[in-house]
Amino acid sequence: MHGPTVVVAQSDCIVAEHLAASLHTYFKNVVVARDVEEIRHRIQQESADIVVVDLDLAEMFQVRGLAEEFTKVGIICTHRVPDEPMWRLCLEAGALDCCSCNDVQSIVRAARRHPHTSKATAA
pLDDT at 3: 72
pLDDT at 115: 83
As a whole number of Å, the CA-based R_g of the chain is 13
Alpha-carbon span 31 to 43, nearest angstrom? 10
What does the pLDDT read at residue 27?
93
pTM of the predicted model as reported, rounded to 2 decimal places: 0.91
Q: Please identify every stretch of the chain with a pLDDT value under 70, giving residue numbers as ranges.
A: 1-2, 117-123
Q: CA-CA distance, 85 to 32, in Å (whole number)?
A: 27
- Amino acid identity for residue 77 in this structure: C
> In whole angstroms, what is the distance from residue 83 CA to residue 79 CA?
9
What the chain holds in terms of domains, given with CATH numbers, is: 5-113 (3.40.50.2300)
* C-alpha triplet 97, 100, 104: angle, nearest 5°: 85
